[in-house]
A and B are shown apart, each in its own frame.
Chain A
Amino acid sequence: MSTETTLRRTALNETMRKYGGKMVDFHGWELPIQFAGILKEHEAVRASAGIFDVSHMGQVFVTGADAFKLLQLTNANDLRKATPGKGVYSHVTNEKAGLVDEIIAFCLAADRYLVIVNAATSTKDYEWFKAQSARMLVKIENRSEDFSMVAVQGPKVPLMFEQFAPEALKLPRFGIVEKDLFGEHCYVSRTGYTGEDGFEVTAPHSVIDRVWEKMMELGKPYGIVPCGLGARDTLRLESGYLLYGQDVDDEHTTYEANYGWVVSLDKGDFIGREVLAAQKQGGVGRKLTGLTLTGGVPRPGCKVFKDGAHAGDLASATYSPTLKKGIGVGYLVPPDLKPGTALEVEIHGRRVKAEVSRVPFHKGTAFSKDLYTGK
């Protein structure tokens, strides 16, 4: 393909190829869609351990006396939840309460934050933070080009970290620790996009290969497998996690996305608060709603019908390896449909019976609180 030369490659590109990754163009990045197969990789993460190259993700550092103030102003969630050593999942909202991005803001110290942002939005986020920081004592650095990132996910992953990073075992969900790995300053957080317990390691490019190989070595007794974007998508959708650009964007709000728990209306003013307060009061006209079906595989863009009328389109949809049926989410009208409500999804011109489902479709170990004691 002639476009191949223009694709951006992560520092792990050669390693991905060495392990048999089937490389594809993912929004301008060359990343593996799969290794041994999506089902096998998905099952490994649910049962034991899998490892992902997520180096396309971005890192924005916000530092200075007003770092907290800036993040509190630009986020729907309350940054007070992010005490030093902890992170908070949040939505960066515009004036219309649409999402600039969905992020994790880690508090490294009272005046120092690491914000993990989506790949395609890192520049946009950086510009947005810049624009909102007038007259603030704050330094904003988009350091996405300087870091690679590996996600190690699965119920057996904490066992792997016993020797490698025992301090990480004490982390609660969304906890973070700064740690030298192979002589470089790195960040280890108890986060992920799979619904399973696990860690994400943010490291300079120069040591990321060694981090990857070390994980493969430590994970060997647990049958760790390299995983691609295919399994990443089935795992995150089963867990009800949003994909920016597909499930949410500048035009959809947090309440519409059915992520109301992210909104902290009582924390004080923030951008988009008025719109969100009105939606909290008056409700939303459409809501991201989950559905399941058995007679086929739903895909993004499939039309959804309720009582014969077009109720919306699927934003994300796939085959769920855990539930062994089709799952999807779409903005449906009316909102607040009860689980079990009968729907139809149009697949290849056929109307297939579906029903409204609770989201998450499946709750992995990341949803169980007991694990995070590290015991």
Chain B
Amino acid sequence: MTDPILKIDQLSKRFGGVKALENVSFDVFPGDVLGIIGPNGSGKTTIVNSITGFIKPNSGNIYFKNKNITGKPPHKIADMGVTRTFQVMRPYYSLPAYKNLVIPLFSPRAKRTGGWRGGGTLGNRQTIAIDILEDIGFERDSYIPFKKTSTLPTGYLKRLELARCLALKPEIIICDEVFSGLSMSEIASMVPLIERLQDEGITIVMIEHRLRELFQVANRVMVLNFGEKLIEGSPTEVMADKKVKEAYFGSEEVEEVMTYA
């Protein structure tokens, strides 16, 4: 058994009287695609924010490669290779798409590692940025990489979020709902991209509402409900579990889940 790359230990977070997370523990192993699902308000995004340092948990510890990273500032955690996307996309709207990637390529981590495929140092950041964009599905010969970010459709913005992580040469990408708001065809082209990233050895944690696509790519799934961990297991185990169905649909409507999943 290999050591977990990311170990979450008894994580709790309260916002005033609301218990967003209550003693949640789980491990992420190198090469995993871990899916985290749960109804709205179950604490999924709070987990992402805690791991990446955007909020400080009330108690519990987070270990990355056996190093305690709890409470470190976001830029230090990103510098170690734990990157994230945002559920509400956060591109730099006033810049052209490719210049969005110049920012992460300028970071200390990218200077050390050279970006996704290396070579992203000194002077040629803009060329490397266009290479990365092409690699994740921006058509090179089109004007799309050069268009102003505020004019891009959602599908490209979601890819841009992923590209920002990739520019840092990440070890883990935590995707906060990359499929949400996308059309069926956009999702269909996103799934192979996630699979390709996994093949390249990047560990992926996915938070998702689109169960069908998630179960395609994930090898383990964890279910949260009201800030507590319900179950963790393979997609088929989770799908068959009665508690999960109740959490999502209430105890009466079990049949509908079967038709959906």
B is a partner of A: no
A residues in contact (CB < 8 Å) with B = none
B residues in contact (CB < 8 Å) with A = none
